[in-house]
Structure 1
Amino acid sequence: MSNPDMVAAAAGTGAAMGEAVAVFMLHPETFAGSVAAGYQNPLAGYIAGRAGVLGEASGATVAAVLAVFEPNLTAALWDEGVAVRGALGAAQQYWEQTAEFGRKYLSGAQGLERIAELGEKVIAATPIAGTPMFAGWRTMPLADDAPARALQVMMVLRELRADVHFNLLTVSGIAPVEAHMLHGGAEYTKMFGWPEPFADGADKKDRYAEVEQGTDRRMAEILSGALDSAEADELAKLSADALEVLKANVPS
């Protein structure tokens, strides 16, 4: 596989895993599970659960790590969320929710054991420098059953890609609002807590494309450190197949 092919495999894997984990994170069942676990505001459960692996950090620190969210809102949701179960308790709750979602909606997909096997090779071989969310999530114990384990592995790799992307975005000089507007428009930008009016970032479109391409290139380098060309291609294909099964099984 040539380098462009490895980049394509990294992009395909990242897109499929990113969407699969987003289905879990944004689904009403996940929010309901957070409420049932004691989080009156499910968004506080989301922020505390997702960032809980950072430990008993300040809201400002969490906002700095989750760089594309509006920082004041992030800090407030973090403070509200960690008051319920603490940081690591929130992470454990979210981890268990991830596993259960995989059990419910990934069962029946082909190659789940292989997704976990290949993904774990990448996780084990990847240095943690500059990737705080990945560094935290990679220490969490994985479930034994294939559907749960596969979605958990996808989540860890999604956080790795997010860390890489956030780093490149930050040094690019593109503001989070501009990035959101270029990527998904106004409604998408609102999801991250930013208030209007929104700068559209139109003058940074080419720079944003470079950030996206740089993310794929770096992830290709990471995959190359753990997988051969056939394995990288296999992971991309299996991840795409698993996403299709997940979307078909999850109620709208």
Structure 2
Amino acid sequence: MSETDLLDAAAAAGTAMEQAVAVFMLHPETFGESVAAGYENPLAGYVAGRGGVLGEATGATVSAVFAVFEPNGLAAMWEQGVAVRGAAGAAQQYWAQAADFGRKYLAGAEGLDRIAALGEKVITAAPPAGLPLFAGWRAMPLADDAPARALQVMFVLRELRAGVHFNALTNSGIAPIEAHMLNKGPQYAAMFGWPEPYPDGASKKDRYAEVEQLTNRRMAEIFAAALDPAEAAELARLSAEALASLKANVPG
């Protein structure tokens, strides 16, 4: 496998994992479970759940870590969410929800044990410095059964890539709202709480492409420290297949 092949494998695995975990995070069933767990606003359950591994932090601190959300709204959702069962309790609740989602909708996928085994090698090899959400989530205990464990491993690896990307984005000087506009446009910007009018960031298009390249290069380095080329390709392939299985099984 060439360096380009490794870059492609790391990028493909990252894309598949990001999308698979997003299916869990954004699904109405997940929001409904958060409401049932006591979070009147399910988005507050998401923010407190995902950020709960940071501990009893301030909303401003959590907003800085989440990086690409409108900070005032994110801070408000954090404060609302942690009022329900605290930071650690929110993280534990969200982790259990992720496990259950995997059990329901990933059980028929092939290679789940391999996704977990290969993914855990990457998680172990990755240095946590500057990656607080990744550091917090990789310390959480993983489920024993393959479907739940595979989705949880993908969750942790998603936080790894997100943290690497956020660091590159911050250092680039591209504002979060500009990144949204350069990536998925105004609908995505609105979903992350940003008010109009939106700057288009067009003058930073080339710089944003460099951020993506830097993210993929760094992830390829992390993969290379943990996996041989065949394993990297296998993880990318199995992650894509797991995503396809998840999309086929999850109700619309």
Fold shared per TM-score above 0.5: yes
Please list every run of 5 or more consecutive structure 1 residues that lacks an aligned counterpart in the other structure.
Answer: none
Residue matched to 2:142? 142
In the TM superposition, what is the alpha-carbon distance from 1:126 to its structure 2 partner? Answer: 1.1
Residue matched to 2:239? 239
TM-score w.r.t. length of structure 2: 0.99
Residue 43 of structure 2 corresponds to residue 43 of structure 1: yes
Residue matched to 1:102? 102
Paired with 1:101 and 1:188, the residues of 2 have a C-alpha distance of 24
Residue deviations 1:98-148 (CA, integer Å, cap 9, x gap): 000000000110000000000001111111101000000000000000000
Residue matched to 1:174? 174
Residue matched to 1:165? 165
Residue matched to 2:114? 114
Counterpart code for 1:225: A
Secondary structure, aligned partner of 1:225? helix
Secondary structure, aligned partner of 2:127? coil
Alignment of 1:14-29 (within 5 A): 14-29=14-29
State the percentage of identical aligned residues: 75
Residue matched to 2:56? 56
Residue matched to 2:248? 248
Paired with 1:15 and 1:111, the residues of 2 have a C-alpha distance of 18
C-alpha RMSD over aligned residues = 0.4
Paired with 1:68 and 1:82, the residues of 2 have a C-alpha distance of 20
In the TM superposition, what is the alpha-carbon distance from 1:2 to its structure 2 partner? Answer: 1.1
Please list every run of 5 or more consecutive structure 2 residues that lacks an aligned counterpart in the other structure.
Answer: none
Runs of 4+ in 1 over 6 A off after TM superposition: none
Residue matched to 2:130? 130
Counterpart code for 1:207: R
Secondary structure, aligned partner of 1:69? coil
In the TM superposition, what is the alpha-carbon distance from 1:210 to its structure 2 partner? Answer: 0.6
Residue matched to 1:196? 196
Paired with 2:229 and 2:144, the residues of 1 have a C-alpha distance of 27
Residue matched to 1:7? 7
Residue deviations 1:2-24 (CA, integer Å, cap 9, x gap): 11111000000000000000000
In the TM superposition, what is the alpha-carbon distance from 1:97 to its structure 2 partner? Answer: 0.2
Residue 208 of structure 2 corresponds to residue 208 of structure 1: yes
